[in-house]
Amino acid sequence: MNIMELQEHARHIRQNIIRMVYSAQSGHPGGSLSSADILSYLFFEEMDINKENVNTIDRDRFVLSKGHASPLLYGTLCEKGFLTQEDILTFRKINSKVQGHPNMNMTPGVDMSTGSLGQGLSAGVGMALANKLDKNNHRIYVLVGDGESEEGQIWEAAMSAAHYKLDNLCAILDFNGLQIDGKITDVMNPTPLDEKFKAFGWHVICIDGHNYEEIKAAFDEAKATKGQPTLILAHTIKGKGVSFMEGEAGWHGKAPNEEQYHIAMKDLGGEE
């Protein structure tokens, strides 16, 4: 798939994010929009997940550790064909497939229920270790938030992954620099994240998380890395693609009003 096709998928994913959060008048658009390019590449180029193998262990797996960014995952699964537009417009409603946090028992394509920050990387470590023991060559991908990296469990998981030499595990850290209360460096500074993961025994690759050539090169390098897990530290823009949300911590967990919704959709290429 070429870059233009991947960019188009990402644009649709971002539109889905805005539709969901606006429909529910609740949710987390900022950190969902920042990672859309990464998930576009993962689900449409990197991972081998499809409708035929979704209910088997014979495929790559993805864990959204920053589970509050569920519109990102649902928007991607909709674009991939696992969910419909009707499904995603029930976001956060009772008995919906698309709850505020991902639920693996309710939503096709969701590999781990997440939401409690810091726990998703541990789940990914367990999956990767199980694959090693079972001689299953499929890979595990985990998307981690930068604010989430203030949680101690992230570092326990990082230590375990390196100890067990889990080269089938690739974590992607969405480094947009903002969390609900402001800059991560002001709230509880976890930087330098690249040097810390290196110190914990990880192979670290730093990229522009909106540049598809760099994204591709990073995932290729991760697959070629043996004997240690890989962290792709992706520098991103919170609220990417929506003019009034970009770089604004206030859009971490807030829904647009009707006027803002139409501006956002226009920014993303208009209603489709």
Query: pLDDT band at residue 272, thresholds of 50, 70 and 90?
Result: low
Residues 145-190: tens digit of each pLDDT:
999 999 999 999 999 999 999 999 999 999 999 999 999 999 999 9
Assessment of whether the complete model's pTM goes beyond 0.85: yes
CATH number of 3-267: 3.40.50.970
| Mean pLDDT, the chain, whole residue set | 97
Ramachandran sector of residue 205 (left: φ over 0; alpha: ψ -120 to 50; beta: rest)? beta
Four-CA torsion 53, 57, 62, 66, nearest 10 degrees? 120
Residue 3's CB is within 10 A of a number of other CB atoms, namely 14
270: pLDDT confidence band, cut at 50, 70 and 90? confident
Q: Which residue bears the tokens 């990417």?
A: 240
pLDDT above 70 (res 76) = yes
Interatomic CA distance for residues 215 and 235, integer angstroms: 11
